[in-house]
């Protein structure tokens, strides 16, 4: 294939990313991990499934370094320590910032024209590490958060109304954490705002569940964190970029005045194409929504400030 995506981290998120990228025939896939044999084994397993699934994507695994990633169109970084019960995304700040810096410093020079999609938590802060370490322009570094958070919100809306998820559009702004800001006014079912279909009490409950969606799964799994929907969020972003689809997807992107926020990665709707973030979409917010977004951005800033002191 003429496109190549490297997935750094061959755990549950990374392995599922590789699977979905290959089965959608979006690109050839390189899977990298520091655990000896893990990426090679998963790549071989996925390759052996290809005749059954009916795709011709080429899969490569490497636990011996990053050379195989050279010339990647996209680098998806999932590597890092996952959350455990009782941990917040913020608890991962110190160790995952070191991992992110190491990964980016070794992959970016091999793929100087790549687009980086950050998945590791705490996501918004990790975007800053990837941005500063890579030296890439801001349109080529982004975080997968809004795609996942919006999907969770859409899932809960579909369950509440007993309708197809395909009928539902939803937006979630802000940082990837419990300060995120779901936007019911901009969330619709076949074009109908959910505010006309669902009571405020139930909407508030769904917004709260969305903001704590990752913690809910961590609590249930007990020994890991979410990976199916997380991988899907990263792959839909990659698909829009690789196919130049110009999809509008909420992503963590670097803001320079948009929404009144400066020099910070925060989740907002963007247009994704071959050049990465090709446009930041600014939508009108109520005073309450704007206050929520500013609060969320302040929480991200606190993480960035804390990281600078490590």
pLDDT at res. 60: 98
In angstroms, rounded to a whole number, what is the distance separating the alpha carbons of residues 187 and 285? 13
Topology classification of domain 146-308: L-2-Hydroxyisocaproate Dehydrogenase; Chain A, domain 2 (3.90.110)
pLDDT at res. 183: 94
Residues labelled as active-site residues: 176
CATH 3.40.50.720 region(s) of the chain?
4-143
Q: pLDDT means per 10 residues in the chain (310 residues)?
A: 96 97 98 97 98 98 97 96 66 88 98 97 94 98 95 97 97 87 95 96 96 92 92 98 97 97 96 98 95 94 88
pLDDT at res. 91: 74
In angstroms, rounded to a whole number, what is the distance separating the alpha carbons of residues 193 and 151? 16
pLDDT at res. 81: 79
pLDDT at res. 89: 56
In angstroms, rounded to a whole number, what is the distance separating the alpha carbons of residues 307 and 109? 24
**Strands 28-32, 4-8: parallel, antiparallel or unpaired by DSSP?**
parallel
CATH 3.90.110.10 region(s) of the chain?
146-308
In angstroms, rounded to a whole number, what is the distance separating the alpha carbons of residues 23 and 39? 17
Q: pTM of the full predicted structure?
A: 0.95
Which residues, at least 6 apart from 265, have a Cβ–Cβ distance to it below 8 Å? 124, 125, 127, 128, 131, 143, 252, 253, 254, 255, 300
User: Under CATH, which number does the domain 4-143 receive?
Assistant: 3.40.50.720
Helix (H) or strand (E) holding 5: strand 4-8
pLDDT at res. 170: 93
């Amino acid at each position: 294939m003429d496109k190549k995506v490297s997935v750094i981290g061959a755990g549950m998120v990374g392995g599922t990313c590789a699977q979905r990228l290959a089965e959608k025939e979006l690109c050839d896939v390189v899977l990298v991990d520091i655990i000896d044999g893990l990426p090679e084994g998963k790549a071989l397993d996925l390759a052996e499934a290809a005749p059954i699934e009916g795709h011709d994507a080429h899969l490569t695994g490497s636990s011996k370094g990053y050379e195989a990633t050279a010339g990647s169109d996209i680098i998806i970084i999932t590597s890092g320590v996952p959350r455990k019960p009782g941990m917040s995304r913020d608890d991962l700040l110190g160790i995952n910032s070191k991992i992110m810096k190491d990964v980016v410093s070794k992959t970016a020079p091999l793929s100087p024209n790549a687009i980086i999609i950050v998945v590791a938590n705490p996501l918004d802060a990790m975007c800053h590490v990837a941005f500063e370490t890579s030296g890439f322009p801001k349109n080529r570094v982004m975080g997968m958060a809004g795609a996942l958070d919006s999907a969770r919100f859409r899932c809960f809306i579909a369950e509440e109304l007993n309708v197809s998820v395909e009928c539902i559009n939803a937006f979630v702004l802000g940082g990837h954490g419990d300060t995120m800001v779901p936007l019911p006014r901009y969330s619709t079912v076949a074009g109908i705002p959910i505010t006309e279909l669902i009571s405020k009490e139930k909407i508030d409950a769904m917004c709260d569940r969305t903001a704590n969606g990752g913690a809910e799964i961590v609590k249930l799994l007990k020994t890991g964190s979410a990976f199916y929907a997380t991988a899907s969020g990263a792959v839909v972003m990659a698909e829009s970029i690789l196919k130049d689809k110009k999809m509008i997807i909420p992503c963590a992107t670097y803001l320079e005045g948009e929404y009144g926020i400066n020099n910070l990665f925060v989740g907002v709707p963007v247009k994704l194409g071959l050049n990465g973030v090709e446009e930041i979409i600014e939508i009108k917010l109520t005073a309450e929504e704007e206050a929520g977004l500013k609060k969320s951005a302040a929480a991200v800033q606190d993480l960035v400030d804390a990281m600078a002191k490590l």
